[in-house]
Chain A
Amino acid sequence: MAVDESGRTFGIVAVDAAARPVAEAWGTRLRELGRPVQTWFGPAPPLDAWLTAARVGYRLLLAGPEADLLALRARAGVLLDAEITLYVTDSRERVVRCARCRTATRTAAAVLDCAGCGLRMAVHDHVSTVHGAHLGSWSGA
Chain B
Amino acid sequence: MTRLSRFPFPLAADTFTYTTNVEPARVPVATAAGEWGAGIVEPDDEYRTEVAERAAVVARDPSRVQLLPHMRPAAWDALLTLLRELAAQCPAHMALVEGPQCLWRNDLLGVEQRFTVGDDESLPGGPLGFLNGQLQEDVVLLDQREDALWVDAGAVAFAADWSLAFVTGMRFAEVHRPVVARVHQAGVLTRAEQFLLRLPPGAEYRRLNWTLSVDRRLDLSTEVREEWEPQRAALAAAAPAELGRRVHLRVELQHLIRLGASGAVLFLIRTHLLSLDELAAVPAWRRRVGRVLAALPDDVADYKGLSGVRPGVVRWCLEP
A and B touch in the complex (CB under 8 A): yes
Query: Given A99-B223, A125-B177, A140-B230 in contact, is the A135-B146 Cβ separation under 8 Å?
Result: no
Query: Given A80-B146, A81-B146 in contact, is the A128-B224 Cβ separation under 8 Å?
Result: no
Q: Is the interface of B mostly helix, strand, loop or mixed?
A: helix
- Contact for B229 among A97, A124, A127, A138, CB less than 8 A: A138
B170 within 8 A of A: yes
- Is there an interface contact between B224 and A129, defined as CB atoms closer than 8 Å? no
CB distance from A46 to the nearest CB of B (A): 24
Annotate A107-131 by CB proximity to B: 1 below 8 A, 0 otherwise.
0000000000001000011111111
CA distance A126 to B174 in the complex (A): 7
CB distance from A51 to the nearest CB of B (A): 17
- Is there an interface contact between B169 and A126, defined as CB atoms closer than 8 Å? no
- Is there an interface contact between A102 and B146, defined as CB atoms closer than 8 Å? no
- Contact for A97 among B166, B175, B178, B225, CB less than 8 A: B166
CA distance A126 to B222 in the complex (A): 12
- Is there an interface contact between B169 and A129, defined as CB atoms closer than 8 Å? yes
Q: What are the 3 A-B residue pairs with the smallest beta carbon separation, nearest first? A: A130-B169, A138-B225, A138-B226
A35 within 8 A of B: no
Q: A127 to chain B: which residues have CB within 8 Å?
A: 174, 177
- Is there an interface contact between A129 and B226, defined as CB atoms closer than 8 Å? no
Q: A130 to chain B: which residues have CB within 8 Å?
A: 168-170
B123 within 8 A of A: no
Chain A residue nearest to B61 in the complex (CB): A100
B233 within 8 A of A: yes
CB distance from A48 to the nearest CB of B (A): 18
Q: B166 to chain A: which residues have CB within 8 Å?
A: 97, 99, 126, 128, 131, 135
Query: Given A81-B146, A126-B178, A140-B230 in contact, is the A135-B222 Cβ separation under 8 Å?
Result: yes
CA distance A29 to B9 in the complex (A): 62
Q: A128 to chain B: which residues have CB within 8 Å?
A: 166-167, 169-170, 174
B165 within 8 A of A: yes
Query: Interface residues, chain B, CB within 8 Å of chain A?
Result: 63, 146, 163, 165-170, 174-175, 177-178, 222-226, 229-230, 233
Q: A140 to chain B: which residues have CB within 8 Å?
A: 229-230, 233
Chain A residue nearest to B150 in the complex (CB): A130
CA distance A137 to B174 in the complex (A): 17
Q: A125 to chain B: which residues have CB within 8 Å?
A: 177-178
Q: B146 to chain A: which residues have CB within 8 Å?
A: 80-81
Chain B residue nearest to A121 in the complex (CB): B225
- Is there an interface contact between B177 and A137, defined as CB atoms closer than 8 Å? no
Q: Which of A125, A127, A135 is packed against the most chain B CB atoms within 10 Å?
A: A135
Q: B177 to chain A: which residues have CB within 8 Å?
A: 125-127
CA distance A84 to B166 in the complex (A): 23
- Is there an interface contact between B222 and A137, defined as CB atoms closer than 8 Å? yes
Q: A102 to chain B: which residues have CB within 8 Å?
A: 63, 165
Besides A81-B146, A100-B224, A128-B167, 9 more A-B contacts (Cβ < 8 Å) are A102-B63, A126-B166, A127-B177, A129-B169, A135-B166, A137-B163, A137-B222, A138-B225, A140-B230
CA distance A128 to B177 in the complex (A): 11
Annotate A84-109 by CB proximity to B: 1 below 8 A, 0 otherwise.
00000000000001011010000000
User: 8 A-B pairs, CB-CB below 8 angstroms?
Assistant: A80-B146, A100-B223, A100-B224, A124-B178, A126-B174, A129-B169, A137-B222, A138-B229
CA distance A119 to B175 in the complex (A): 23
CB distance from A132 to the nearest CB of B (A): 11
Query: Given A125-B177, A137-B222 in contact, is the A99-B163 Cβ separation under 8 Å?
Result: yes
Q: B163 to chain A: which residues have CB within 8 Å?
A: 99, 135, 137
CA distance A128 to B162 in the complex (A): 13
Q: B224 to chain A: which residues have CB within 8 Å?
A: 100
CA distance A80 to B222 in the complex (A): 29
- Contact for B225 among A80, A81, A99, A129, CB less than 8 A: A99
CB distance from B15 to the nearest CB of A (A): 28
Q: B169 to chain A: which residues have CB within 8 Å?
A: 128-131
Chain A residue nearest to B230 in the complex (CB): A140
Q: Which of B146, B166, B167, B230 is packed against the most chain A CB atoms within 10 Å?
A: B166
CA distance A119 to B226 in the complex (A): 9
